[in-house]
Amino acid sequence: MSSAPSLSQGLYAVKSALAVGADRKIEEALSEALDSREWIIHHAADNSAALALVKKKAFELIVTSQKTSGKEDLDLLRNIRRLRPHTRVIVLTDESTPADVIASMRERAFSYFSKPLSTEALKDMIHHAAEAPCWDAGIEIISATPEWIRLLAACDLTTAGRLVQFIDEMGNLQEPEKTAVATAFREMLMNAIEYGGGLDPEQYVEISYIRGQQAIGCRITDPGKGFQPDKIPHAAVCNPPGAPLQHHQLRESQGIRPGGFGILLARQMLDQVIYSENGNEVLLLKYLNTAPSS
């Protein structure tokens, strides 16, 4: 079953998306994220029906059902890859493990969300999936276990967003650690991609992410020349006491986009932020609250 094309769609290159399962919130996310003049949204009742449709027709984007497990959706993903290797697949699942997340990355899922998921985050990811060129070469796993994953990520914004979501799913954390780790990782990854890699998708950053029982560690290495963290006046971390926004004036005068809070945020949210001598490697450490709940 699919949405009927309108007359205006004849003026555009029409693309096809497939939504698996019936979920009003997911339908709304797809409809809001995809331009109705360019996209037709088709529907499949379950994974078996989805695979039958994929055998008959190519889809640019497929979003799985929240009602299926990670393993069920991985089976679907593998079958889709054999039939349509460049289809963007966003996995939604009701239950997941770090091993499932790793397997989805190896099978080149575009993204992965387990419950409870943010509808806004899903809409953003659908939009990225609709717009991203040459996406399937952006993340390359070097080695991976549920406790330790090492990978390369292309220096572009879409890859950064995808990787942040995968790492967030890998951590399997509770609040407030979940938000702290995700925010700090995002900020440090963006710094590495933008300043170290120059937003050049031909350049790569290397990430090692380690999930221990009492702590999470993440090492990010970028291809740049490095810097000294205490000598970057366009960043908030170097503002003098009593002038928390001084760096804004410098950024504006140099034509740098607003921001500059990444290192400061990471230091506030994590327990340790350690830079290498050259400054193109950073180690992030967050100690976890392992006390038993009452």
Q: What is the CATH number for 211?
A: 3.30.565.10
Task: Please list the alpha-helical segments (H only) found in 34-176.
Answer: 47-56, 70-83, 98-106, 119-131, 157-171
Structural domain of 280:
138-294
Q: 144 and 129, same structural domain?
A: no
Joined together, the tokens standing for residue 249 give 């004036």
Determine the pLDDT at residue 117: 87
Q: 157 and 129, same structural domain?
A: no
User: Cβ of 151: how many Cβ atoms within 10 Å?
Assistant: 21
Q: 95 and 20, same structural domain?
A: yes
Looking at 120, 136, 152, the residue that finishes a domain is 136
Q: 286 and 154, same structural domain?
A: yes
Q: Are residues 38 and 131 in contact, defined by beta-carbon separation less than 8 angstroms?
A: no
CA separation for the pair 226, 185 (Å, rounded): 18
Joined together, the tokens standing for residue 46 give 């379950």
Query: Dihedral of the CA atoms 58, 78, 116, 134 (nearest 10)?
Result: -60
User: Cβ of 192: how many Cβ atoms within 10 Å?
Assistant: 25
Sheet hosting strand 15-20, strand order edge to edge: 39-44, 15-20, 61-63, 88-93, 111-114
CA separation for the pair 93, 5 (Å, rounded): 29
Q: Are residues 220 and 205 in contact, defined by beta-carbon separation less than 8 angstroms?
A: yes
- Rounded mean pLDDT for each run of 10 residues along the chain, 294 residues in total: 50 84 90 94 96 96 94 96 94 92 95 92 94 80 96 94 92 85 93 93 96 95 86 57 58 60 86 94 90 49
Determine the pLDDT at residue 270: 95
Q: Are residues 42 and 52 in contact, defined by beta-carbon separation less than 8 angstroms?
A: no
Q: 66 and 5, same structural domain?
A: yes
Give SS3 for 214: coil
Bridge partners (DSSP) of residue 184 are none
Q: 150 and 130, same structural domain?
A: no
Looking at 136, 169, 198, the residue that finishes a domain is 136
Please give the tally of structural domains in the chain. Answer: 2
User: Cβ of 113: how many Cβ atoms within 10 Å?
Assistant: 21
Q: Which helix (H) or strand (E) holds 62?
A: strand 61-63
Q: 92 and 163, same structural domain?
A: no
Phi-psi bin for 21: left (phi > 0), alpha (psi -120 to 50), beta?
left
Relative orientation angle of helices 157-171 and 177-191, to the nearest 10 degrees: 150
This prediction has a pTM of 0.85
CA separation for the pair 247, 235 (Å, rounded): 6
* CA nearest to 146, candidates 170, 112, 113, 173: 170
Q: How far is CA 78 from the centre of its chain?
A: 20
Q: 143 and 113, same structural domain?
A: no
Looking at 91, 106, 136, the residue that finishes a domain is 136
